[in-house]
Structure 1
Amino acid sequence: MTKAITSALNVGELAAGQVLSVPLFTFKGTDNRAPTVYVQANVHGAEVQGNAVIYQLMTLLENCHVLGDIVFAPLANPLGINQKSGEFTLGRFDPITGVNWNREYLDHKIDIAAWYKQHQDLPNDELIKSFKATLTEACHTKLQQPWGITTGHRLAVNLQSLAHSADIVLDLHTGPKSCKHLYCPEYDMDSAKFFSIPYSLIIPNSFGGAMDEAAFCPWWQLTEYAASQGRHFDVPVAAFTLELASQERIDMADALVDAKGIMAYLSHRGVIQEAVQPAKMPRYACYLKDYKKFHAPQSGMVEYCAKVGEPLLAGNTLVNILRLDLYGSDKACTSLSLDKDCVPILHFASASVHQGTELYKVMTNVFEFPC
């Protein structure tokens, strides 16, 4: 039986001096040629299902032949996890700065042309090793800069330095009220068929601040520039964000389903020796440009009529908005619909909304992945 090695990552200090740390669990591989993996969960405080998936994954791995090192960081944001108000967990934004915890990662902004010119004589394996060292060192430099960095940025860059040591990065999240969906880089679309997730958002090579982008964007930029110079190699790092349905929820049986999907991907990549087949299921996708937000045109009490993960035809009711202050008029209850077919992916958690609240995110121009 394979056992995980336990350790902790120091990510900061509380005002009273206590050390903030994230527990780490490492499965050591037996083949240094196999890809290495970093998996984190719970960067947003209410998004707890990823911890259940990590538990199920580690349980499965105990009975596997692990070839590549796998590092797990559950409970990755202790500040956000403990950010409570009554029965609710608020930990989506840093309460000090207001910044989304998942938008705090370092944008390296490397001069790729200059870096490549300096290292172009290296063989591919040495080039990749050197670029990985450049990314990791940039994180360490950021953490040590003399003027200091914010609490949230310190947490994120510490996690990012772990991610940069891996060949595969999985960031486990959930939505407010959501179906499962996967953020997948365009260069790696084929990988979506291994995860037990029905919907994928295909994202471009642009940094928006999230962990998956922090992990893969520099490598995508390097391979594109190298190709422009006549040198071709695959993007060495794969990174995905897995949205595992809704927040404030633990479902161990469902976590096992997602763990098995991740195992199928790890098997495909040669991280584990065992052959694990992906689940047979239809899988659909759209490009990020076709992932649309619908904002409340007025305030009120909302009935969310469209079910997440189920296609909605143009003209069918998306929401009903109740305005009791307008009782007696034709505006007391308003039905709203969209003018094009879509698949609702997630909606706002509360039934009480301000004008302008982001009510739904929906996929449009959806296509099916070939089996």
Structure 2
Amino acid sequence: MNTSEIIIAGDTAGIEWRLPVLRFKGSDPKAPKVYIQAALHANELPGTALVHFLCERLRQSESAGQIKSDIIVIPHANPIGAAQSHFGELQGRFDLGSRTNFNREFPLISVKDRDGLLEDLERRSAIDKLKRQLLHMALGCDLVIDLHCDDESLQYAYIDEAFWPEAADLASAMEMEAVLLSDGESSAFEEAVGFAWKYETPEKRSRLPGKLSVTVELRGRRDVYPEMAMKDAEGLWKFLASRGAIDAAVSLPAFDGPAVPLDNVEIVRAPEAGTVLFHHNIGEWVGEGGVLATLITRPGMADGSVEIRAPQAGLIVTRNSERLVRRRADLMKIACKTASKATRKPGTLED
């Protein structure tokens, strides 16, 4: 394993950020090149824990001469966000300087313009430098895995329809409980990678065989435990072996979980501000009209609560960990068999 650092100059005097990069050299130039990053949202740490154990497993494979692919691993992809603490709480999702989600506004380019990402970097902001260097590394690879987590959630993934159903092997290896099929219409990291591949030729490609760019949601933010991380690391290692990145025989069962388009995801929101009393946990199936939660809007008053019901039947994939919420706060995501009646703009489900 080779280690290096990318140094990113800060936007004020005397500040710089260091981004560790771990590389494993493969023995087969024809094997798919791999890029794995964790904690682009700096306060989402299940991926960093996974990567720690995955690298241990990869070093063992390296010692056994099993590494066929060039593999790049970024254990914590956002040193800028990791330094953002407000009143003692890490603020890792949004850049406090620009108020932009760290996983949005990646450049949408064709692969042929990849080297242009690093031109005139000294003129750009620190966060733009970071995003461009991450994207530049990823676009030199074939399999790109961005490790995130949700609030309270099942193990699931956002996978562009261009990679499905080929990517069912990843869902199987990681024992995902659901897959949300995205439309590739945002500037999030994994979709910016897919965009570049689709527009590698003059005509946009709808299928990308042999490629994969995916956001893996490793349960919830508090699900950072050694047993979970080691299990997830082993699952990702098996996926890499199944794709020929590691010379090892693995057998993966068929993925049998739900795989639904984003249009089929019901986002349940709070109609008013109040205290949330959930009636169902993640992983439970709910029927249409079933009570999902009680919202106490005026404590102590006879008419001081509101029942929130399921717009249709489905699987509860995520849940808000906060119990005091504002009006229109996201409470749950439910994966359903049919499309939601709510209108949805192309792109991500939330900011």
Q: TM-score, normalised by structure 2?
A: 0.87
Q: What's the secondary structure of 1:138's corresponding residue?
A: helix
Q: Does the 8 Å contact 2:68/2:247 carry over to 1?
A: yes
Q: Does the 8 Å contact 1:285/1:366 carry over to 2?
A: no
Give the aligned partner of residue 291 of structure 1: 265
Structure 1 residues 250 and 279: alpha-carbon distance in aligned structure 2, compared to 1, 3 A threshold: farther
Identity rate, percent: 25
Q: Does the 8 Å contact 1:223/1:234 carry over to 2?
A: no
Give the aligned partner of residue 72 of structure 2: 71
Q: Does the 8 Å contact 1:135/1:164 carry over to 2?
A: no
Cα distance in 1 for residues equivalent to 2:30 and 2:276 = 54
Pair 1:36 & 2:37 matched: no
Alignment partner of 2:130 out of 146, 155, 163:
155
Aligned length, in residue pairs: 331
Cα distance in 2 for residues equivalent to 1:44 and 1:359 = 20
Alignment partner of 2:46 out of 27, 45, 49:
49
Structure 1 residues 211 and 226: alpha-carbon distance in aligned structure 2, compared to 1, 3 A threshold: closer
Q: Does the 8 Å contact 1:184/1:192 carry over to 2?
A: no
Structure 1 residues 304 and 155: alpha-carbon distance in aligned structure 2, compared to 1, 3 A threshold: farther
Higher helix share: 1
Give the aligned partner of residue 141 of structure 2: 166
Report matched runs for 1:1-371 at 5 Å: 4-13=1-10, 15-64=12-61, 65-86=66-87, 88-108=89-109, 110=110, 132=111, 134-141=112-119, 143=121, 148-189=123-164, 190-194=166-170, 195-196=173-174, 197-206=176-185, 208-222=186-200, 225=203, 234-235=208-209, 237-278=211-252, 282-325=256-299, 327-330=300-303, 332-365=304-337
Q: CA deviation at 1:86?
A: 4.5
* 1:232-264 deviation line (CA, Å, top 9, x unaligned): x95453111100011144212111222222122
* 1:278-324 deviation line (CA, Å, top 9, x unaligned): 36763221012212322211110112332112222112221111134
Q: Any gaps of 5 or more consecutive residues in structure 2? A: 340-351
Q: CA deviation at 1:60?
A: 1.2
Structure 1 residues 140 and 76: alpha-carbon distance in aligned structure 2, compared to 1, 3 A threshold: same
Q: CA deviation at 1:223?
A: 6.0
Q: Any gaps of 5 or more consecutive residues in structure 1? A: 111-131
Cα distance in 1 for residues equivalent to 2:4 and 2:42 = 21
Q: What's the secondary structure of 1:218's corresponding residue?
A: helix
Q: Does the 8 Å contact 2:162/2:208 carry over to 1?
A: no
Structure 1 residues 285 and 366: alpha-carbon distance in aligned structure 2, compared to 1, 3 A threshold: farther
Structure 1 counterpart of 2:302, which letter?
A: S
Q: Which has the larger radius of gyration?
A: 1
Q: Does the 8 Å contact 1:179/1:244 carry over to 2?
A: yes
Structure 1 residues 234 and 151: alpha-carbon distance in aligned structure 2, compared to 1, 3 A threshold: closer
Q: TM-score, normalised by structure 1?
A: 0.82
Q: CA deviation at 1:193?
A: 3.3
Q: CA deviation at 1:341?
A: 0.5
* 1:40-78 deviation line (CA, Å, top 9, x unaligned): 001112100101111111111122210011111011111
